[in-house]
A and B are shown apart, each in its own frame.
Chain A
C-alpha cells in the first residue's frame, strides 16, 4: 500500500526558501500513470494546487506561484520535493504531497500525505 509522508522545517523566515520533501513508501514512484503533486491549505484560501511533476521530470505549476516554485523528483530515493522562494506570511499553510493518478479522462488525487504545517515568521 503506497503511503506518502511530507518532511521539512515547520518554521521558515520571511524572504527565505521553503523546502519540503515527500517520501513515497510501499511502491515505486516511477510506476504507473502518476503525477507527484503538491497542494497547500490555508484558512483564507482553502485548498490551493501548487504544481506537479511527472516521473519523466516534466512539470506544471500554478501560475499564481510559478515564479517562486520548483518541484523536483529523485526516483532513486523514491521521493519528490518542493521549493518555494521568497516566502511571506501568506505562504503559511498546511502543505500536502499527493499522488495524482491519470488514466484516460480520469484524474484524481487518490493518495495524500498527512500534511505538514509550515509557518512563515521571523
Chain B
C-alpha cells in the first residue's frame, strides 16, 4: 500500500493567515492526488483534484501543488469557515489511501 503522511497533524492559525499543509507519498504517485475538507460531523468534500485543480465552486483561496512524492495544500487567507480537518488521498495504486488528516483550528 502507498502510505500518505501529512504534516502537521494539527494546526492553529489566525483569520487571514496563510496556511500550508504537506502530504508525502511513500512512492511516486505523479499528480494522482486529491485534497478533501471534512467539517465536524459531515462527510468529506472534494476541494482539489489531480494535485492542483480546483473543484468547481470551491473558493480560490484554496490551492494545491506538487507531484511525485511531495504535495502542498494552501489556504491563502484563512477564513472562520475553513475550520475543518483536511485529508490528502492518492489514487495512483489500489488500494486507494488517505493521509491521516490535518486538523485546522482558529487561534
Q: Which residues of A contact B (CB under 8 A)?
A: 46-49, 60, 62-64, 96, 98, 105-110, 112-115
**What is the interface of chain A mostly: helix, strand, loop, or mixed?**
strand
Q: A46-B101, A47-B87 are in contact. Are A114 and B42 (CB under 8 A)?
A: yes
Q: Which residues in A have their C-beta under 8 angstroms from that of B49?
A: 106, 108
**What is the interface of chain B mostly: helix, strand, loop, or mixed?**
loop
Q: Which residues in B have their C-beta under 8 angstroms from that of A115?
A: 43
Q: Which residues of B contact A (CB under 8 A)?
A: 1, 32, 34, 36, 42-46, 49-50, 55, 87, 89, 91, 94-101
CB distance from B79 to the nearest CB of A (A): 22
- On whether the beta carbons of A110 and B94 are closer than 8 Å, the reply is no
Cross-interface CB contact of A106 among B50, B87, B96, cutoff 8 Å: B50
A and B contact pairs by CB, cutoff 8 A, 6 listed: A46-B100, A47-B89, A96-B44, A109-B44, A113-B43, A114-B42
